[in-house]
Structures are given as C-alpha cells and as structure tokens.
Amino acid sequence: MSDLLPVELRCVVCDQAHPSTVDAHVCPRHEGLAGILDVVVSPGQPGAGEDPLDRYRTHLPLPAAPRVLPAGYLSRTPLLPAPRLAALLGVGELLIKDESRHPTGSLKDRSSALAVELAAYGGFGDIACASTGNAASSLAGACAVAGLTARIFVPVGTPAGKLAQLAAFGARVVLVRGSYDDAYYLCEDAARAFGWYDRNCAVNPYLMEGKKTCGLELAEQLRDGPADWVSVAVGDGCTVAAIGKGLAEGGHGASRLLAVQPAGAAPIVDAFAAGREEIEPVHARTVADSVSVGRPRNAVKALRAVRASGGAFSAVDDAEILEAMRLLGEHAGVFAEPGAAAGIAAIRQARADGLIGPRDRVVHVVTGSGLKTPGAVTAPFPEIEPTLDAVRAVVAA
C-alpha cells in the first residue's frame, strides 16, 4: 500500500517536486527551513455537511482512511454583519468571520484537527508543537479527543487562559525560558530527536491546508457578492497565506488581503514595504501575544499571497489594538483576543489612508477568543450595597 497523501508537494524556492509522505518537511536543497513546501491539489466541489474536513475533503491532504476525530468536531464558523461597527469605521459593509467559535476558541483548531488526522494515519502516538498559545491549546484539545499525546513548547509568559487549556487537556508542556522563536527551534529539534509528529505549520506543508478551509468557507459565504478586502493578523505568516489560498481555490479571487502585524512585531510589514521576500528578524514586543513573532517562518507564502491579491500589509500599535478590541466588543458583540482585533485597527487606518473606500465590503477574521487573555481588558465596575438607592446613584452617575 502507498502511504502517500493525494496531493503534490513543490518547493517554494526551487519548485522541486517531493513525495507526499505524511511526515514531509522542507526541501533539503536550501539552508535551514527556507525550502518550505507548497501543497498543490486538484479539488472537486464541496461536499455536504458542515465539518470543513469533510466538506472540503478533495481540497485537503487527507488519506482515504476513516477519520479519527468525529464529524462535527469542527464546524463552519459564521460570517456575521456588523453594521454599527461598519458605520463607525466608515466602510460600506463589515462582516465578521468569527473563528472564536471553534472547539478551543481559535482558527488554529482547523490545522490541529488536520494534524491529528495525519499523525494517526502515520502511526504516530505523539505530536509536537511550538506555539504562542493557540496552536498549542488547539493541538492539545484535538489530541485529547483522539487519544494522542500532545508535546507542547511555549515561551515563559504565555497567558494564563492558554496554559489552563493545556492543563485541562492533559498536554505534556514545557515552558521554555526564551522567546517564541527559541521555543520554536527547540521543538523542531525535539520532534526530530524523539520521533514525534511535527505540527509546526511553517515546516509541515500540510498544516496550512487546514487553515485554508477558513478561506474556502468564506468563498461560499460570500456568494452573494465578493468582499473588497479581507483583513487578518499575521504572525508566522501561515494564516493569511492559507486564507488567500482558500479564497482562490474557492473561486473567490476578487478580495484583496489586508495583512496586519503589531508595530512591535512587524518584520513582514517591513519586507513588504521594501519589496523584499527576505525578512529582518526583530525582537518582538506587543500586547498581541498570538502574533508576537520576531522571526516569522512563513513570510514567503504570506508576502506572495498578499501581493497576488493586490493587497497590503500594515502595522498598528498596541494602543490601537486595544482600542480595536473595545470597538469589536462594544459595537459588534465579539470578544476577540488582542491579535484577533488588530485587523479592525488596520481597517480604520486603511480607510483613513483612502486605501479602503467608503462603500467597500470588508471581511475581518477574528482568529481567537478574548477569553484566552482576559487580562487585556480591565473591569473597573462599581461595587455597591444591595439597595435600590445604590443602584440609583450608579445609574445617575
């Protein structure tokens, strides 16, 4: 029996074809992790059902074997109009793709579910992942469903909500004294040394395909008319590239990608502005922990996807990100983590710059739940005695 997955793999640097084994990594012709592989598929029409791994099966590197996660573990996330926030931002229409509805509260559930399917098919019992938090908690959750062991590498300082999820799911976690980048390279080494399946999205070519289902859903949900812009935050670069790929495969090539990084972790923004494909690593510092990446591993795919869409990269500072969180919560009823709100700040900026027009239809992807980082909002509520007079005083104030 062949254990190749039903897709083609090609190096993004030299276009060399590689066999689609379940543990394919990077092209060995290039130094380090530069030779990222791209997955090429020949998809059919979407299937029935709401679980994206079933619905978009012919778009995905999935074997014919039965799946290990139950159908419905993932489901389609809603695309919801936010007319009051659209009016505040001065755009014609704003639609929120709410990825916080996933089982562990982030878009990363899409790729972690795929990782678990591939690892189980490949006979692996352990899956390794370095993460600023969301990839880790999503992997831990999917592993707990399937009965696999999650091996997690997170930097010291990961938010409490994300660590609580890891503990709840029984993941094997190490807190690495260093940055996300340190945790990342250590995880790569450990996965090789111990024979664990590698869930890291930048070097495992298949994982981005899981995230791609967000774009495929959008393409179906936007059948009533194309979006002019799709805004999403960028850390390593996989998510924006995946959404662009999904939109294109779904026949929705019209949308321009608005890719945003926090000003304190914006190396891909800099490369975009300079017209380069190589990035200059920075020392990441931002409140948006989910995209606090100083040395992005997938800048190439991100830059190509945004350029191919005719889109733009922009940087927003932490104050703008926190204000965007407030706007999303108060005027659209979506509690996003800081990174997941950054795109709202970018839309505001692009509108002010004239890049986005007053009648444009804009999609913003909320990539993760604000419940994971409750410390990012303050709750200065008045404490009162249980009397009506005390209520009256607060209402009058």
Q: Which two tokens stand for residue 314?
A: 């922009």
Q: Which of 56, 121, 169, 197 binds its own copies (CB under 8 A)?
A: 169
Q: Which of 70, 125, 195, 310 binds its own copies (CB under 8 A)?
A: 70
Residue whose tokens read 């706007």: 327
Within 13 A of 300's CA, how many CA atoms are on the CB side?
Answer: 14
One-letter amino acid of 119: A
DSSP 115: H
Contact flag: residue 203 with its own copies (CB under 8 A): no
Site for its own copies in 247-276 (CB under 8 A): none
Nearer to its own copies, 77 or 261 (CB): 77
Site for its own copies in 1-60 (CB under 8 A): 50
Contact flag: residue 177 with its own copies (CB under 8 A): yes
Q: Which helix (H) or strand (E) holds 340?
A: helix 338-352
**Residues, the chain:** 397
Contact flag: residue 101 with its own copies (CB under 8 A): yes
Contact flag: residue 224 with its own copies (CB under 8 A): no
φ, ψ (nearest 5 deg) of residue 245 = -65, -45
Beta strand segments in 51-135, E? 79-81, 93-98, 126-130
Q: Which two tokens stand for residue 34?
A: 């530069």
Stretch that binds its own copies, among 18-26, 74-82, 210-218, 293-301 (CB under 8 A): 74-82
Q: Which two tokens stand for residue 204?
A: 């495992």
- Contact indicator for 256, 227 with CB cutoff of 8 Å: no
Stretch that binds its own copies, among 245-253, 296-304, 306-314, 370-378 (CB under 8 A): 370-378
Q: Which two tokens stand for residue 224?
A: 């009533």
One-letter amino acid of 204: N
> What is residue 176's three-state secondary structure?
strand
Stretch that binds its own copies, among 155-163, 202-210, 237-245, 261-269 (CB under 8 A): 155-163
> How many residues in the shown chain lie near its own copies by CB under 8 A?
83
Contact flag: residue 157 with its own copies (CB under 8 A): no
Contact flag: residue 383 with its own copies (CB under 8 A): yes
Q: Which two tokens stand for residue 145?
A: 């469903």
Q: Which of 1, 48, 64, 379 binds its own copies (CB under 8 A)?
A: 379
Site for its own copies in 333-352 (CB under 8 A): 333-335
Nearer to its own copies, 275 or 382 (CB): 382
Contact flag: residue 87 with its own copies (CB under 8 A): no
Q: Which two tokens stand for residue 221?
A: 């949900």
Q: Which two tokens stand for residue 151?
A: 């091996």
Residue whose tokens read 């005027």: 331
Q: What is the C-alpha separation between 366 and 214, in angstroms, rounded? A: 11
Nearer to its own copies, 278 or 330 (CB): 330
Smallest distance, its own copies to C-beta of residue 390, A: 8
> What is residue 231's three-state secondary structure?
strand
Stretch that binds its own copies, among 5-13, 24-32, 53-61, 65-73 (CB under 8 A): 65-73
Q: Which two tokens stand for residue 333?
A: 């009823």
Contact flag: residue 141 with its own copies (CB under 8 A): yes
Smallest distance, its own copies to C-beta of residue 112, A: 11
DSSP 367: -
Smallest distance, its own copies to C-beta of residue 387, A: 7
Contact flag: residue 323 with its own copies (CB under 8 A): no
